[in-house]
Amino acid sequence: MPSRIRTLVAELRHDSPAVATSTPRLTWTVDSDEPGWEQQWAEIRCGDEVARRNDRDSVLVAWPFSPLEPGERAQVSVRSAATNGELTAWSHPLEVWALFTAEWTAPPIAAAEPEMAAQPVLLRRRFEVRAGLTSATLHWTALGVADTAVNGIAADDAVLSPGWTSYRERLIYDSADVTALLHPGENILSSRLAGGWYTEEYHVLTTPRRFYGDQPRFTAQLELIYEDGTRETIMTDTAWRAWLDGPVIATGIYDGEHVDARREPAGWDRPGFDDGHWPTAIETSESLRGIEPRMAPPVRRLETHAVKAVTRTASGRVLLDFGQNLVGRLRLRLRGPRGTVVTVRHAEVLEGRWDDKPELALRPLRRARATDSFTLAGAEDEVFEPRFTFHGFRYADIDGWPGEFDPTDVEAVVLGSDLRRTGWFASSDETLDRFHENVVWTLRGNYLAVPQDCPQRDERLGWTGDTQLFAPTAQSLFDCHAFLRSWLRDLALEQRRLNGLVPLFAPDVVPGFSDRGPVAAWGDAITIVPRVLADTSGDLSVLSEFYPGMRAWLELVLDHRDEEGLWTSGRQLADWLDPNAPPNAPSRGRTDTDIVATAYLARTAQLTADIAAELGQDADAARFAASAAATRDAFVTAFVAPSGRMMCDTQTSYALAIAFDLVEDQRLRRRVGDRLAYVVRRDGYRIATGLVGTAVIADALTMAGHLDAAERLLFQTEAPSWLYPVTVGATTVWERWDGLREDGSLNPGAMVSFNHVALGSVANWLHTTVAGMSADGPGYRRLRIAPRPLQRLTRAHFRHLTPYGPAEAGWERDGASLRVVAAIPANTTARVTLPDGRELEVGSGRHEWRCAVPERRPRAAVTLDSSLADLADDPAAYRAFHATLAAQPNRFLAGAVKANALYTPGRTLRDALIFADDATLVAVADALQSAHHPTGDTA
């Protein structure tokens, strides 16, 4: 098949031809069967103009034509020539639409006399359209959230528009071509307006308070162009009418929405409605600062889910299980008497989940009510779906359903920022694949308007620490570039307000909390997230945009060093949510805060130095590189003994030292890495890391040469572990490893989210290490293929849509050999390291290699005289040992051994069973003998 242009996109936007710039960069991919296809030159055509490029560039290529005017549309095509002389045909034309306005002149409007705080309001404006209309473009935004329509038809399919930004500094607007919705004569522009994030009472770390304002505001301008060239703008002004008695009585992000369908004015958003009795809207004085066109994909309805199971609670409510923890809301089809009230509550898990009559577990919601109610108008068929709120839930209970309940009358509507999926992982282990799917669902639910930490309780904030820890995984699964870059703009604005200090979340809605001092790992997001975006997208402009913030943050933190060169000051979150910390004191982990802070200082200093060098900031690069080296030296001097032991003998301490390359002496580094493997084994191959350590533990073990320990940790199914939640039915990643205990009870901690992104960051290790694909150059122009097969798996595979096209990497056991495969996109190359040690350089195309499978040395049988560490190394023996104890009459013995045993080499099983009787010892010995695997196979 001849080579062809597979795709052509502008500014990496795949959901729309609209771009928010007059000079959109272009990206194209080539589909070719020719091995090693490489571009020699390319031509870009726009109308009668053709621009030629004599280089390999095909990602984010600068716009070669005159800048587009606001609202202008252009048809662009491209063709490429390969180094072998082959020339592709011209691509299908790409429509590029400069969808932004030249100037925002419309003032915000609101209801004149609201009756309560956060008053929902209906807004409408009638206007005339002359014959000969050729174009109508609507731009709108809100201090709040708005559903905007033309003649009763929605202007677009976004929800919760325009989303959430740092309203006082930056506001984005949405745009749509509404030409087809208009007709000569009277037309109606309308909007259902509510407060959303703007009027929300934020509860986190403070008493409930409205941070931005008490009432929502709306602003819009409709730009009309006629055949004769005349232009007209319809904008928000006092010609608009505002009605307070609409169907939405009250609504909030945390509390939910309450709708009375009896209050819907029939036909209010269409021509012919008499609005003479509606009060006039007022223009308000809010300054719309930093208003800009949308960059990130909007929040949309992504899919729907049917009810999977229906039961009744002890209190008599209809209890629905959707089989998947998700983010969104319910859509109900109802038939009943006028005035009937139907109430819906939402929760992620159930209390008493194994009882005959479980109830929703509402405690994890804290002060979020997460309750919707609907009052029927009495029509034949009524459909209810909240407009201005969302919930995190798997379960919902319904009170007041009229008549016999039919589960087909309810469906869950999944909401989220409409990100394009780019990564897929699969393996031979169903539990591992379910965990990976949980990571995907967790991202989909939490990346809604901003990268949230959780979607269900009275929080839902853009925490910086969670985002920087999860960003590499997010970028490998979805195209999050525009989404995260938009969020970074809010973060940078908040940082500027705080004079270089990076807040704990953006938008920052808890004044006085974030400005108490710099917090390691959280503030470092201003450097780490742009670096991730640049590496994965190839868009190096993100580095220059946020470099001022990187420099300001680093200089601020460098001023906090003590006389030893360590970061030991301030209130640190450190290794937040260490499972060994008390349930209600998640910051009291075992890893010293100074270790975490100084490790991040060294890492960020080196990242900033490298970025400064890329940007030509040579003086900064030299200064920051010296600071990084000095901090690494100070870290080793203070925290690492010559033996390789660290001041804090924890998994996180060693993992940070290895993963951040803080120990440069190779002999000492080996000792630190060996000690890391030791403490992981000592801890029974259970997770003993918080958010910070969990993000790097698997990578650190691999880098230290202990892939076997990383594998054993990965496949652990006892809490705390990645797979324990899967074994008890989790469909998303939890905030706490044991959010639900084995007996079905809730973790007693105050923070128990069952949809939390940070602990899913290990998925990136599955992609880059287990399957073996990563970027070896900006935007995957060069790939790294280096699979590390796990003994527990017979196959693993990862597919990723790079900016250059789809790439694949994976392996499969085939008898006595290992088959490694890779697919390299056209116009890229790859550096390959095979499991047998071979190093290769390859061009584009499909590749396959055969490798010998190293023979595994048989593991000695575990006996009563083996150490507890030997028991931890053998999953089959471990299961047999504890199952046998659990089956004995002395149940206390089983619990005591499991809870108190330290998996150290010197302590034997016989030592741990000192209080066991002879019958128990015999039973255990027999179980261990039957569990022995002469071949060393512990799968």
Residues marked active site are found at 459, 735
- Residue 86's CB: how many other CB atoms inside 10 A? 14
**What CA–CA distance (Å, rounded) separates 370 from 192?**
21
- The answer to whether the CB of 253 falls within 8 A of the CB of 371 is no
Phi, psi dihedrals of residue 364, rounded to the nearest 5°: -60, -20
Q: How far is CA 255 from the centre of its chain?
A: 23
- Would you say the C-alpha torsion 413, 416, 422, 428 has a positive or negative sign? negative
Quote the DSSP letter at residue 908.
B
Quote the DSSP letter at residue 417.
E
Q: What is the 3-state secondary structure (H, E, C) of 127-193?
A: EEECCCEEEEEEEEEEECEEEEEECCEECCCECCCCCCCCCCCCEEEEEEECHHHCCCEEEEEEEEE
In three-state secondary structure terms, 733 is coil
- Smallest CA-to-CA distance from 927 within 859, 857, 877, 855 is with 877
Beta strands (DSSP E) in 803-921 are 805-814, 817-824, 829-833, 839-842, 845-852
- Smallest CA-to-CA distance from 661 within 635, 687, 639, 641 is with 635
Burial of 565 (0-12, 13-18, 19+ CB in 10 A): buried
Take residue 398 and report the two structure tokens written for it. Answer: 């319904």
Longest dimension (CA), the chain: 101
- The answer to whether the CB of 834 falls within 8 A of the CB of 817 is no
The per-residue b/e assignment along 224-258, b for 16 or more CB within 10 angstroms, e otherwise, is bbbeeeeeeebbbbeebbbbbebbbbbbbbbbbbb
Q: What is the 3-state secondary structure (H, E, C) of 342-384?
A: EEEEEECCEECCCCCCCEECCHHHCCCCCEEEEECCCCCCEEE
Quote the DSSP letter at residue 531.
H
Burial of 160 (0-12, 13-18, 19+ CB in 10 A): buried
Distance set, CA 523 to CA 463, 509, 519, 577 (Å)? 10, 16, 6, 18
Distance set, CA 825 to CA 38, 94, 476, 532, 845 (Å)? 10, 21, 16, 21, 7
Phi, psi dihedrals of residue 810, rounded to the nearest 5°: 175, 180
**What CA–CA distance (Å, rounded) separates 70 from 347?**
45
- Residue 267's CB: how many other CB atoms inside 10 A? 12
DSSP 3-state percent helix, strand, coil across the chain (nearest 5): 25, 30, 45
Q: Tell me the angle at which helices 593-614 and 618-639 cross, rounded to the nearest 10 degrees.
A: 160
